[in-house]
Amino acid sequence: MHKLILMFFVLIGAQAWCLEKPNILWLTSEDNNVTHIGCYGNEMAVTPNIDKLAKEGFRYTQCYSNTAVCSATRTSWITGMNAVSMAGHNHRSNVKVPEDKVIFYPQQLRKAGYYAVNTGKTDYNTRQDPRLKTMWSSSKLNWNKLKENQPFFQVINHADSHESRAMGKDYTYPQDKVKIPPYHPDTKEVRANYGYYYKNVTKMDENIGRALAQLEKMGLAENTIVIYNSDHGGPLPRGKRYLYNSGTHCPLVIRIPEKYKQLWPADKPGSTVDRLVSFIDMPSTWLSLAGATIPANYQGEIFLGKDQTKEPEYVFHFRGRNDGKIENARAIRDKQFLYVRNYIPYVARGQHLPYQWKIPMQRDWENDFKNAKLNDNQSRYFKLKPKDELYDVSKDSFCLNNLAQSPEYKEIVETMKKKLDSYQRQYTDAGLIPESELNQRALENGVTPYEVIHNKELYNLDAYMQAAAIALEQKAEYYSQLQEFLKSDDSGVRHWAVCGLFMLKDKVNVLADVNPLLNDPSETVRAMAAWTVIEINQSDEAYKVFENLLKSGTYAELEALNYIDWMGGKNNARLIPFVKNYKIKDSKLKPFYDYLVNGMPALGPSKKIKKQKNKKGKKA
């Protein structure tokens, strides 16, 4: 009998939970990491509202974005899958996805009875998906007009801390309130830029406070779980876009009312939580809190609530193209170590991104590098990357001391390499062939990029990973294997073979191997081969490859323009006049194209900031 009574109360409790589902208010901010928030140890940061929320709730100390740029982050959030699993990891890639395979979490919330609202920002890399217009109940929520007893889920995004708010200087900001990381030069100019940004972080905090005050005023605080976090790390150079702590270690604060005490992740409010959390865990966790169905292909763990799953051992990170500049890196971390794999180590960390170069200290930093005013930690940003990086982030939060080549860390590096490989296979990493090549395969086969990468006949991930691993070794002993890869019928394998030969060109005479690829059927392979030949002997035939590709309206426009930029100096001088007469097809390449053909333009605050300045008569 006592078992039946117990079962009765369990059922009653479950029904009560269903009848009293919590409201969920998700407050997001843009482009700030933990070092910009007071409750995370920066005593000089002015963020009283977030600090107060942390005292009333729970502050997570080990929360990381899976990537470090907004559109790829938000694509992962909205789909519950790492964006590399659908080829949505490249910034503003605007990919198509199959509706039966990629399910947006607001759809599930609404099926569970929630009024789901998103206010302030979308910026998904699936922007052409028709469901984006219907998946939310509304873009605004009047808390007075909710249906009786209908729970709500609302996202409110705050842009005051965005990169555009770092495009200025404030010399009046108290110098003693600015903390400069050791990878930046500690100058008056840099401090003025930091001060300008700090003021805008405080504005962000003020708006967080207004939302919380309105919630209280409406009498909804006792029924609402409040979540605050940023969308990735900070916008000042070497933060946003980079997979170091500066780009991925994010604040996460969650306040849970007393009536939902059973959800508390610690004994009492004001506590810290050291569980390893990644952003990909959030959609699954929010759906779990709402009692909604979690799609089977969602990749996150549930880190909060009655259905909490086991803490993950690692967080997976990825980096793709940003604006018009190609990048490609993967990483994993645990609570002590961060391992980063750079797939294009032959390009400097600090690639010129026209939008990023609107930040004054970015230009100041570059000028100091050119004038040899920087120490090793500060100048590393403008130099080539190693293929492997390992940091003990428990001691080196700024990620300055690369341990990857230290014999005593060899075992850790190998373990993390293998684990990273397993994540890439588990998530079906779309970034192992050039972006344009992937899109071309999708076009030729009449399918989405998602369907390409999940079809082994169209996308041989294991083969690409093997070829990439050998290419990245940059060792002459692998020369014969690279030669064999050149014979592959798969353009993705041939691409990695050419990349490997490019990196060996100073150790081995690779010209005879690469020259035939100037006529390769793949336009991305042809472009990489042409760059390799130009670096060796500046042959007329190789230059004509680029000229002919651009004349023909190549599908490899992105790669061709990047390779021309990466040549630099005397090697691309012949091509720049030709490129000036080229009309780009892809609008997102326009700022990069302008920079490539005209050099550094005169850069200043964005138009939005200028308007604010004119209206108020002072800095925004």
pLDDT in tens, 440-476: 999 999 999 999 999 999 999 999 999 999 999 999 9
Q: How far apart are the first and last CA of the chain?
A: 69
pLDDT at 238 over 60: yes
Between 165 and 618, the more confident residue is 165
3-state secondary structure of 341: strand
pLDDT at position 13, please? 32
Between 138 and 525, the more confident residue is 525
pLDDT in tens, 373-400: 999 999 999 999 999 999 999 999 999 9
Mean pLDDT score, 165-170? 94
DSSP one-letter code for 301: -
The neighbour count for residue 360, using CB atoms within 10 Å, is 20
pLDDT in tens, 475-500: 999 999 999 999 999 999 999 999 99
For residue 381, give every residue at least 6 positions away whose Cβ sits within 8 Å of its Cβ, in sequence order, or none.
183, 237, 238, 348, 349, 350, 365, 369
pLDDT at position 44, please? 82
pLDDT at 16 over 60: no
Q: Is residue 365 part of a domain?
A: no
What are phi and psi for residue 229, nearest 5 degrees? -160, 160
Alpha-carbon dihedral 258, 259, 265, 271, rounded to 10 degrees: 0
Nearest to 361 by CA among 611, 509, 575, 191: 191
Mean pLDDT score, 281-307? 97
Three state DSSP letters for 397-417: CCCCCCCCCCHHHHHHHHHHH
Give dist(CA 478, CA 465) in Å, integer: 15
Share of the chain above pLDDT 70, in %: 93
Q: Is residue 355 part of a domain?
A: no
**Residue numbers annotated as active site:** 70
Q: How many domains does the chain have?
A: 2
Give dist(CA 289, CA 300) in Å, integer: 14
Considering 267, 293, 309, which residue would you say is the last residue of a domain?
Answer: 309
Mean pLDDT score, 2-18? 31
pLDDT at position 620, please? 31
Nearest to 404 by CA among 420, 386, 421, 385: 386
Residue 230 Rama label (left phi>0; alpha psi -120 to 50; beta): beta
Mean pLDDT score, 206-213? 96
pLDDT in tens, 505-535: 999 999 999 999 999 999 999 999 999 999 9
pLDDT in tens, 553-593: 999 999 999 999 999 878 999 999 889 889 998 888 888 88
Q: Is residue 396 part of a domain?
A: no
Give dist(CA 589, CA 538) in Å, integer: 26
Q: Quick one: 305 and 432 in the same domain? A: no
Q: Is residue 605 part of a domain?
A: no
Q: Is residue 476 part of a domain?
A: yes
pTM score, two decimals? 0.92
Look up the domain containing 573 and give its range: 428-598
The domain that holds 450 is classified in CATH as 1.25.10
pLDDT at 606 over 70: no
The domain that holds 103 is classified in CATH as 3.40.720.10
Q: Quick one: 98 and 229 in the same domain? A: yes
Give dist(CA 398, CA 320) in Å, integer: 22
Q: Quick one: 301 and 443 in the same domain? A: no
Q: Quick one: 77 and 207 in the same domain? A: yes
Q: Is residue 153 part of a domain?
A: yes
pLDDT at 207 over 60: yes
Alpha-carbon dihedral sign for residues 487, 490, 493, 495: positive
For residue 3, give every residue at least 6 positions away whose Cβ sits within 8 Å of its Cβ, in sequence order, or none.
none
pLDDT at 3 over 60: no
pLDDT at 5 over 80: no
pLDDT in tens, 319-377: 999 999 999 999 999 999 999 999 999 999 999 999 999 999 999 999 999 999 999 99
Under 8 Å between Cβ of 214 and 221:
no
Choose the weakest-confidence range: 414-423, 596-605, 606-615: 606-615
- H or E segment to which residue 228 belongs: strand 224-230
Nearest to 304 by CA among 258, 269, 259, 254: 254
Considering 283, 309, 335, which residue would you say is the last residue of a domain?
Answer: 309
Between 364 and 614, the more confident residue is 364
Q: Is residue 276 part of a domain?
A: yes
Nearest to 82 by CA among 26, 122, 125, 31: 125
pLDDT at position 9, please? 25
Q: Quick one: 26 and 155 in the same domain? A: yes
pLDDT in tens, 47-103: 999 999 999 999 999 999 999 999 999 999 999 999 999 999 999 888 999 999 999
Nearest to 21 by CA among 283, 218, 292: 292
pLDDT at 2 over 50: no
pLDDT at position 600, please? 52
Place of tokens 């294009």: 344
Q: Quick one: 295 and 434 in the same domain? A: no
Confidence band, pLDDT 50/70/90 cuts, at residue 7: very low
Q: Quick one: 167 and 301 in the same domain? A: yes
Q: Is residue 533 part of a domain?
A: yes
